[in-house]
């Protein structure tokens, strides 16, 4: 894959990397980052070396994790040797130490930690675009020079000690003159630990002394939904859709929301896997997420402070599921327990409604499907399953409910192949909200999304509904609707995180 930017980061900061890559690629800037772009079976080291050599820009997501990562340091060394443009994107208020300090002390930074790194992606896009267009001189207006630990700073530190000592004397005298009341009131001031004086700094290599400039955190920042702290909404970028269409849909939703609520701002961020949305919502980096049911079960199982608020109603239903099919003439199978020792046809092992959910039902009732059935055959598609059962290729088949209704070319199929049992139903993709949001703000978001789902195709597109002929709308939901699916996983002894 040809790319403009190599993204270097600690694996512990993958959520941040996913955000940034999605933002850059949404702006038409091609990125390379692991593990997404490692070819199947490829050698990691060779792939990374080749990618660094090909990229014009080396983007370093700098954090305490990156500061301690030997792999990140190795990547930086190679990028420097290749004379790539190095752009450090600092997501934590701490300085590099050791070899990192040597390599980065003279470079320009983009400080992206106040109030949080999500607010700086637009500036990062602007900076990288300037480099790719040959306008590196513009970086000085976007990035800042790294501050060096000079003798003057040390002198300032000593001066601070003198001032502190003088204040102690003054406070002591005041206590004598004005009595214990003043002293007690002075003691009542809250001492706030600097956010940068954390274990991450303590774990950094000790051979290099450093002076870390800190910012005292405020007790409250900009309100969620303000321009300085927008509502962050994440979704899984549909593989079948063009990225330009997805990006346009996101921008349209952002603009329509701001038009509806002029004092509120929302930022939509695509990602390439559900794990990123799960992590971001659990960590408080995202406030709204479009989730599939399995991810929702996982995120609530981890006790993350979220709850489903809306669900898609597609094909006139808010849920879907699977079914077990048998021949109407087969009297040997009367209930699910009778399928033991039989031959099973499935669409394929990747089908959720045709294999994953039915297999959970079998595990809950009978045990491991690979042991329960004499043979499991992949029929090659949902429509092929009823036909295979009808022909006698297998005794039982599983497919989505109800696959037979769409098989109009086979009018006999409804009578000759019947449903033995239906699986537990699974809710359609939902919109989940963080409990951090004010209930009144959640109400505004729900009202907006419900209206948008019927009047506009953009929300359906980013949710993965690409069939414009299918009627879709969003309806209200809550965690109760997931009780049956949660119970199925428990009965099967399975963890949603594994699916």
Dump pLDDT digits (tens) for 344-356. Answer: 999 999 999 999 9
Dump pLDDT digits (tens) for 271-299. Answer: 878 888 998 999 888 999 999 999 999 99
Q: Is residue 290 part of a domain?
A: yes
Same domain, 240 and 111: no
Q: What is the pLDDT of residue 220?
A: 57
Q: What is the pLDDT of residue 441?
A: 96
Confidence grade of residue 202 (pLDDT, cut at 50, 70, 90): very low
Task: Say how far apart CA 386 and CA 326 lie, in whole Å.
Answer: 8
Confidence grade of residue 228 (pLDDT, cut at 50, 70, 90): confident
Stretch among 173-182, 313-322, 476-485, 487-496 having the lowest mean pLDDT: 173-182
Task: Say how far apart CA 494 and CA 422 lie, in whole Å.
Answer: 20
Task: Say how far apart CA 288 and CA 403 lie, in whole Å.
Answer: 33
Ramachandran assignment for 179, one of left (phi > 0), alpha (psi -120 to 50 degrees), beta (any other): left
pTM of the predicted protein model: 0.59
| Cβ-Cβ contacts under 8 Å for 51 (sequence gap 6 or more) | 3, 6, 32, 37
Q: Which of 294, 306, 408 is nearest to 360 (CA)?
A: 294
Task: Say how far apart CA 45 and CA 43 lie, in whole Å.
Answer: 6
Q: Is residue 20 part of a domain?
A: yes
Ramachandran assignment for 313, one of left (phi > 0), alpha (psi -120 to 50 degrees), beta (any other): beta
Q: What is the pLDDT of residue 12?
A: 81
Same domain, 351 and 483: no
Of 130, 163, 187, which residue sits at a domain end? 187
Same domain, 31 and 84: yes
Q: Is residue 135 part of a domain?
A: yes
Task: Say how far apart CA 72 and CA 381 lie, in whole Å.
Answer: 44
Q: Which of 308, 304, 303 is nearest to 289 (CA)?
A: 308
* Across 161-176, average pLDDT: 42
Dump pLDDT digits (tens) for 301-317. Answer: 988 999 999 999 876 67
Q: Which two tokens stand for residue 187?
A: 């003691």
User: Taking all residues of the chain, what is their mean pLDDT, rounded to a whole number?
Assistant: 81
- Is the confidence at residue 362, as pLDDT, over 50? yes
Q: Which domain holds residue 170?
A: 151-187
Number of domains the chain is built from: 4
Same domain, 335 and 419: yes
Dump pLDDT digits (tens) for 402-425. Answer: 999 999 999 999 999 999 999 999
- Is the confidence at residue 485, as pLDDT, over 70? yes
Look at residue 254 and give its three-state secondary structure. helix
Task: Say how far apart CA 95 and CA 196 lie, in whole Å.
Answer: 10
């Amino acid at each position: 894959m040809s790319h403009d930017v190599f993204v270097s980061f600690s694996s512990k900061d993958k959520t941040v990397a996913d955000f940034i890559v999605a933002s850059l690629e949404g702006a038409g800037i091609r990125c390379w980052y692991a593990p997404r772009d490692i070819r199947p079976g490829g050698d990691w080291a060779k792939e990374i070396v080749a990618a660094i050599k090909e990229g014009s820009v080396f983007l370093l997501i700098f954090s305490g994790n990156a500061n301690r990562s030997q792999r990140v340091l190795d990547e930086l060394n190679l990028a420097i040797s290749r004379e790539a443009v190095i752009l450090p994107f600092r997501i934590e208020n701490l300085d590099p130490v050791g070899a990192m300090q040597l390599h980065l002390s003279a470079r320009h930074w983009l400080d992206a930690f106040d109030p949080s790194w999500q607010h700086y992606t637009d500036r990062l896009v602007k900076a990288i675009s300037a480099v790719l267009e040959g306008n590196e001189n513009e970086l000085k207006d976007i990035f800042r020079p790294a501050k060096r630990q000079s003798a003057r700073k040390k002198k300032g530190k000593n001066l601070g000690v003198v001032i502190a000592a003088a204040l102690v004397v003054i406070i002591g005298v005041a206590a004598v003159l004005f009595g214990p009341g003043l002293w007690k009131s002075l003691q009542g001031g809250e001492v706030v630990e600097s956010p940068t004086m954390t274990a991450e700094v303590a774990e950094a290599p000790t051979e290099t002394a450093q002076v870390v400039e800190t910012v005292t955190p405020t007790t409250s920042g900009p309100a969620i939904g303000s321009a300085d702290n927008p509502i962050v909404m994440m979704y899984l970028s549909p593989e079948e859709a063009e990225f330009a269409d997805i990006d346009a849909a996101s921008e349209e939703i952002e603009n329509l929301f701001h038009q509806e609520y002029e004092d509120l701002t929302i930022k939509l961020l695509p990602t390439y896997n559900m794990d990123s949305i799960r992590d971001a919502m659990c960590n408080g980096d995202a406030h709204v997420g479009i989730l599939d049911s399995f991810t929702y079960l996982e995120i609530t199982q981890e006790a993350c402070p979220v709850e489903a608020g809306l669900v898609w109603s597609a094909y006139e239903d808010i849920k879907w599921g699977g079914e077990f099919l048998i021949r109407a003439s087969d009297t040997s199978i009367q209930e699910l327990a009778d399928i033991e020792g039989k031959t099973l046809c499935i669409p394929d092992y990747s089908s959720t409604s045709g294999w994953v959910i039915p297999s959970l039902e079998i595990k809950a009732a009978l045990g491991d499907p690979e042991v329960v059935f004499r043979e499991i055959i992949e029929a090659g598609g949902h429509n092929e399953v009823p036909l295979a059962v009808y022909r006698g290729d297998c005794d039982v088949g599983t497919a989505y409910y109800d696959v037979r209704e769409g098989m109009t070319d086979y009018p006999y199929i409804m009578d000759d192949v019947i449903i033995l049992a239906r699986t537990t139903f699974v809710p359609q993709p939902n919109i989940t909200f963080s409990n951090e949001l004010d209930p009144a703000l959640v109400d505004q978001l729900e009202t907006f999304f419900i209206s948008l789902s019927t009047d506009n195709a953009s929300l359906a597109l980013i949710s993965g509904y690409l069939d414009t002929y299918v009627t879709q709308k969003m309806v209200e939901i809550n965690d109760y609707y997931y009780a049956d699916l949660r119970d199925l996983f428990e009965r099967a002894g399975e963890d949603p995180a594994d699916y």
